[in-house]
């Protein structure tokens, strides 16, 4: 990991902890309500959610029918885009440019992990099974540890008694 990504991670952590401290919650829906961010559940196809900023209005669109864990994670992830990438249009970038968007997605994932679970998510939510984390992180269960490492979370902090097939 380079110095810039360490600084960015620190900036995201400071941003999230400031929001949590100011609003006294880690619930993304409560934050959206208090911040005036609209959340709409819709029958989306091929995506779990997206953030839209139009005419000064922030809107999070979430696919209806997601599990509770995935729904909360998608809301937190899209709220991350609201704070970190307001001026960007990922759908446009994916379809009309050659710009690499995974960096933006990784940062929004980190925002979501820090918001929902704090700086040490797996110790705060030890009852989460690998398949639940896989659902939240949108990866196959076998890739949970790899994805956590990509997000800067040490996958070895998991108490192995929590690991379930």
| pLDDT over 90, % of the chain | 33
User: pLDDT band at residue 146, thresholds of 50, 70 and 90?
Assistant: confident
pLDDT at 8: 57
Position 16 pLDDT exceeds 50 = yes
For the CA atoms of 118, 124, 128, 129, the dihedral, rounded to the nearest 10 degrees, stands at 100
Computed over its alpha carbons, how large is the radius of gyration of the chain? 16
Least-confidence region, from 13-22, 51-60, 117-126: 117-126
Structural domains of the chain ordered from first start: 3-121 (1.10.10.2910)
| CB neighbour list of residue 69: distance below 8 Å, 6 or more residues apart | 128, 132, 135, 136
**pTM of the entire structure?**
0.69
Distance (Å, whole) CA 49 – CA 63: 6
Distance (Å, whole) CA 15 – CA 59: 20
Mean pLDDT for the stretch of residues 13-23 = 94
């Amino acid at each position: 990991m380079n110095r810039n990504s360490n600084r960015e991670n620190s900036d995201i952590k400071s941003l999230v902890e400031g929001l949590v401290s100011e609003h006294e919650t880690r619930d993304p829906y409560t934050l959206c309500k208090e911040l005036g961010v609209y959340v709409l559940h819709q029958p989306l196809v091929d995506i779990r959610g997206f953030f839209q900023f139009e005419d000064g209005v922030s809107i999070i669109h979430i696919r209806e029918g997601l599990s509770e864990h995935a729904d909360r994670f998608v809301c937190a992830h899209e709220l991350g885009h609201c704070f970190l990438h307001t001026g960007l249009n990922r759908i446009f970038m994916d379809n009309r440019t050659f710009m690499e968007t995974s960096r933006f997605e990784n940062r929004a994932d980190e925002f979501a992990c820090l918001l929902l679970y704090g700086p040490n998510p797996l110790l705060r939510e030890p009852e989460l099974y690998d398949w639940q984390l896989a659902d939240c992180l949108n990866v196959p269960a076998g890739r949970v540890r790899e994805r956590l490492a990509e997000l800067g979370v040490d996958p070895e902090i998991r108490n192995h008694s929590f690991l379930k097939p």
